[in-house]
A and B are shown apart, each in its own frame.
Chain A
Amino acid sequence: MTSVLTNLFDGVAYGMLLFVLACGLAVTLGLMNFVNLAHGAFAMAGGYVCAVLVNHTGWPFFAALPLAFVSSAVIGVALERTLYRHLYTRSHLDQVLFSIGLVFMSVAAVDYIMGSSRIFIKLPAALEGQFDVFGVGIDRYRLMIVVICGLLTAALQLVLARTRFGSRLRAAVDDPRAASGLGINVPQVFAFTFAFGCGLAGLGGALSAEILGLDPYFPLKFMIYFLIVVTVGGSSSITGPFLASLLLGIGDVAGKYYVPKMGPFVIYTIMIVILIWRPNGLFGRTVTR
């Protein structure tokens, strides 16, 4: 029984991590309808920035996390302004090709600069080990992830629902033409959201080094997971992707623990079934855009 709860907790932590990693993609792919397969590359960039700061320059882990966010966001906004912007109106095939090219380049570049082996980030002693709550083993690091990601999710939900920027973004997504007619600078809103999503991915990448493993092939290995979160979750709100990532996280951890022989088989099957059943995602809107 306790092992079930421990697994459940691990699954929740994993799912929340996936959500932070993928929620930027929910905006670009789900809302702006841009097939960005290179989202994992931004996560990897954040992870490596954090690793270099902590391991080589001796920064404290918690000080390096915001920097991982900032660096990924800066890379994101630079690429958005120079490259992505030109591709918003192009065909999906072009977008796929472009982002695959970006993934390939990032994989090779990181391999060249940092080497091909998996890297670890030195964690502060306070985050290591487990403690027991009523006999349920809780990993300290995972608890921190749950807390950070939980706070982030709540903040995101608030920003989207309550602030002026949130309503601008929702307007821009619902109908870009009407939004720009009302005086909303749609490209600017999208660029900002893109950068913010990339920053979140970078933060997620830094957090995930311990759990998912960080190596140059990170963007390729986890691409499908990010895509699952977005396509299964749908794009009508932030809750859809959130629930989808929790589902994916818990399912994946449970699958690996209880039916280790099936490997990722379970996840892919579930994804295909859901997509066949509801092509716009579990919580998606019914109109195809």
Chain B
Amino acid sequence: MTTPADVGYHARQHARWHWSEIAFWVLVLACAFCFPSRYLIMTDIVRLALFALSLDLILGYSGIVSLGHAAFFGVGAYSAGLLSLHGIITEPVIALVVAGLAAMVLGFLTSFLVIRGVDLTRLMVTLGIALLLEALAERFSNITGGTDGLQGIEMQPILGIFAFDMFGKVGFFYSLAVLFLLFLLARRIVHSPFGLSLRAIKNNPLRAAAVGIPVNRRLIAIYTVAAFYAGIAGALFTQTTSLASLDVFAFEKSADLMLVLVIGGTGYLYGGLIGALVFRMLQEVFQTITPQYWLFWIGLVLIVMVLVGRTRIHRWALFLPNLVIRQFAGRRAVVALSDNEAP
């Protein structure tokens, strides 16, 4: 009994702000004021969250498995670094947008390569592009600084008012503001008809094409947008750490990013944000236990997550919060993840 009007109604219901979402952002802001000594790591988490959000757009919403998302992060990072180092654009916000656009152009150009072929070809091509860029950055070391990275980047005050301080307070609020703005945009995108069509493509490209969705054009569009997001994340990295080195392109970066998103859960925007937090905390814990071999435990987490099943783990993680919510707001308010993990 789903008439088109019904579908529209449900889509609009789904797009409305849930009170738990508002609570989430209030909590984030509260954290910012509660832990004034931990700005650096919190900035790191925010940056990672933005990066994971970008991957979520293509992996969670459109089903493109990418092993080379670090390529766009790297391009954003180097663009922001070079812009500021050579004094081309000194104002951070404009530089940020320009760096994002640079990554976006790359994303647009490479999207034509990515939409061709099946999963495996996509994996290889995305991985190849990231490796190619890494090789290029190493080759043109007179521009990129080679293995030493870009050095001596000095950031101007944001909007000419807020100077970056050494405790990272300004950097953190700047990153958080960027994350929030881009999150709003992403939220708008995935709840729009465009976003719904992406989900249709993810579930069944053939059927999506049959009902008149231009599959390739939609995929190119979302890939380009995701590249923009990743570029912004990279630029934030350079601006808040005054650093850009070759390992922004590294394979480990893309692999870690996948883990972040998988921990948080794909396909509901908050996955990246929660995943970034959990991942960074896990990393801290493992690094204090075994400083050199934390990679082992990260690997173990990945394997266990896959073997137990991602959706099952998320259901367990949500058991306690849902129990509480059920007490106060009734059965209907419980948080449930859509398990749209098509094999």
A residues neighboring B (CB under 8 Å): 29, 35, 83, 86-87, 89-94, 96-98, 100-109, 111-112, 220, 223-224, 227-228, 231, 261-265, 268-269, 271-272, 275-276, 279, 288
Contact = CB atoms under 8 A, between A and B. Distances in A.
B299 A265 contact: no
Interface of B: 59, 65, 67, 113, 116-121, 123-125, 127-129, 131-132, 135-136, 138-139, 251-252, 255, 258-259, 262, 292-303, 305-307, 310, 341-343
A175 B292 CA distance: 46
A101 B299 contact: yes
Given A97-B258, A264-B135, A83 B303 contact: yes
Contacts of B121: 231, 275, 279
Q: Lowest 6 A-B CB distances belong to which pairs?
A: A101-B302, A104-B299, A108-B296, A279-B117, A105-B299, A101-B303
A100 B301 CA distance: 11
Given A91-B342, A264-B135, A231 B295 contact: no
Given A98-B303, A101-B299, A105-B303, A261 B139 contact: yes
Q: Which of A89, A104, A105, A106 has the most chain B CB within a 10 Å cutoff? A: A104
Contacts, number: 131
Most buried by A among B252, B255, B258, B262: B255
Nearest to A100: B255
Contact of A93 (B59, B124, B132): B59
A105 B118 CA distance: 28
Contacts of B124: 227-228, 231, 271, 275
A275 B125 contact: yes
B81 to A, nearest CB: 21
A44 B117 CA distance: 31
Given A263-B135, A265-B139, A276-B113, A97 B306 contact: yes
Contacts of A272: 113, 125, 128-129, 132
A96 B296 contact: no
A261 B307 CA distance: 43
Contacts of B132: 265, 268-269, 272
A35 B343 CA distance: 13
